[in-house]
Structure 1
Amino acid sequence: MIVGGIVLAAGRSSRMGGNKLVADYAGKPLVAHAVDAVADALGRAPLVVTGHARAAVEGALAGRCVEFTFAQHFAEGMSRSLAAGIAAVPRDWDAAIICLGDMPLIAPGLIRALAARAAWDAIVLPVRDGRRGHPVAWGRDFFAELTLIDGDIGGKALLAKFGNAITELAWADDTIFVDVDTPATLADLRDRL
């Protein structure tokens, strides 16, 4: 079974006041943390979806083994970035783990655990204290549905629709919820170092 990783890095960072994905965190661009975790966990180049500030994101990942795809309609919301990523998935992938480029604390161990379960389950997501987090593994059977979502909601709409296909993976810490949306959240994250 082949499981690949998609890193969504196309957003406009509107609440950040600048492109958050290229901001420094722990000595490297924010987006590089998610990319490196996927590459380490899966042993293959992640597929990185760009959009807003495409050149800056691609430049921030220079020297890393990644595949890029451009979400032409990224301004219409996360759903269009997700659709672009799914459309670029190689034919031999049986499942894809969808990661958000602004979640730098996601560990390779979590991605490996999701990939291991994706071999048996259709949709796998991490859970802590009853709350669902990211990233989410999706089996190929759901790829077509993922390309049809509209707006800025990502795969959440499908989680409600296909609740019976979901496997929850218990996770021990809050890293599955930590994303960077504002300068304050980035400052808080830096303080955690």
Structure 2
Amino acid sequence: MTNSKLDKPIVGGLLLAAGASSRLGQSKQLVEFDHQPLLRRTLKTLLHSHLNHTMTVLGARAHEHLAVIEHMATDTCINEDWEKGMGYSLKFGMLRLLEAQPALDGVLIAVCDQPFLTTAHIDGLLDQFAHSRHSIVASEYKGIQGVPAIFPQAHFGELMSIGDEAGARKVMAAHADQVILQHLEKGEVDLDTPEDLKHLRQKD
């Protein structure tokens, strides 16, 4: 089926930013990169893309994090049980996103600690999904398949049933033959440890 402007799939963005960054020792959401908190920068990247809707999931230090994205055009939900794990936050956010936008054809899952993520990359994933809307369209970096990734509606049920401490990669692995990859330059750069932050400061 060809995709006219009227036939573009409806894709919502789910930004997972509920964790406490315990290994980093400080809030990765508030780390300054490109002269702004990383949470704000990542959300801006999503909002400037062709996503139809965005839901941001906060949890630990929610009110501090909310302060850096207030007045931005995203729906926000606060997961009070964020300590249960990323899988729980994903499921929590999916529920809220689908309540707000029940007719989604796909959902793009993103995290806030990929400082080199660009709007062009998000739009590239969306373009690929428009042509292969029954496939999972994921990012690839250093041989890793990961987020940001778009999951079609057919996989929503699986995303909603993953373990509380699992992640979206479990669904990718279960459907490896349906995954289309797009390279994300420097996608492997994330913020988990103080050493990661030191390396990022050297690149900023």
1:60-139 equivalent positions in 2, closer than 5 A: 60-89=68-97, 90-119=101-130, 120-121=132-133, 122-128=135-141, 130-139=143-152
Q: Output one character per residue of 1:13-32: Cα deviation in whole Å (capped at 9) or x when no partner.
A: 11111212012222111111
Taking structure 2 as the reference length, the TM-score comes to 0.86
Structure-2 residue corresponding to 1:157 = 170
Q: Is the 8 A contact 2:18 2:58 kept in 1?
A: yes
For the residues of structure 1 that align with 2:152 and 2:52, how far apart are their CA atoms?
18
Compared with structure 1, are the counterparts of its residues 21 and 37 closer, same or farther at alpha carbon in structure 2 (3 Å cutoff)? same
For the residues of structure 2 that align with 1:165 and 1:123, how far apart are their CA atoms?
6
Compared with structure 1, are the counterparts of its residues 29 and 158 closer, same or farther at alpha carbon in structure 2 (3 Å cutoff)? same
2:43 equivalent among 4, 26, 35: 35
Measure how far apart 1:115 and its partner are.
0.9
For the residues of structure 2 that align with 1:144 and 1:50, how far apart are their CA atoms?
22
Larger radius of gyration: 2
For the residues of structure 2 that align with 1:61 and 1:118, how far apart are their CA atoms?
28
For the residues of structure 2 that align with 1:16 and 1:172, how far apart are their CA atoms?
23
Measure how far apart 1:172 and its partner are.
6.0
For the residues of structure 2 that align with 1:130 and 1:190, how far apart are their CA atoms?
24
Compared with structure 1, are the counterparts of its residues 102 and 130 closer, same or farther at alpha carbon in structure 2 (3 Å cutoff)? closer
Taking structure 1 as the reference length, the TM-score comes to 0.91
Q: State percent identity of aligned pairs.
A: 25
For the residues of structure 1 that align with 2:142 and 2:29, how far apart are their CA atoms?
28
For the residues of structure 1 that align with 2:119 and 2:31, how far apart are their CA atoms?
21
Q: Is the 8 A contact 1:5 1:98 kept in 2?
A: yes
Unaligned runs of 5+ in 2: 1-8
| Secondary structure, counterpart of 1:41 in structure 2 | coil
- Are 2:181 and 1:173 aligned? no
Q: Output one character per residue of 1:145-180: Cα deviation in whole Å (capped at 9) or x when no partner.
A: 1111114331121112122221122x2622x22211
Unaligned runs of 5+ in 1: none
Compared with structure 1, are the counterparts of its residues 43 and 134 closer, same or farther at alpha carbon in structure 2 (3 Å cutoff)? closer
Q: Is the 8 A contact 1:31 1:104 kept in 2?
A: no
For the residues of structure 2 that align with 1:63 and 1:107, how far apart are their CA atoms?
21
Measure how far apart 1:102 and its partner are.
1.4
1:17-36 equivalent positions in 2, closer than 5 A: 17-36=25-44
Length, aligned pairs only: 191
For the residues of structure 1 that align with 2:180 and 2:195, how far apart are their CA atoms?
33
- Are 2:64 and 1:51 aligned? no
CA RMSD of aligned residues (A): 1.7
Compared with structure 1, are the counterparts of its residues 3 and 45 closer, same or farther at alpha carbon in structure 2 (3 Å cutoff)? closer
For the residues of structure 2 that align with 1:128 and 1:105, how far apart are their CA atoms?
12
For the residues of structure 2 that align with 1:172 and 1:61, how far apart are their CA atoms?
25
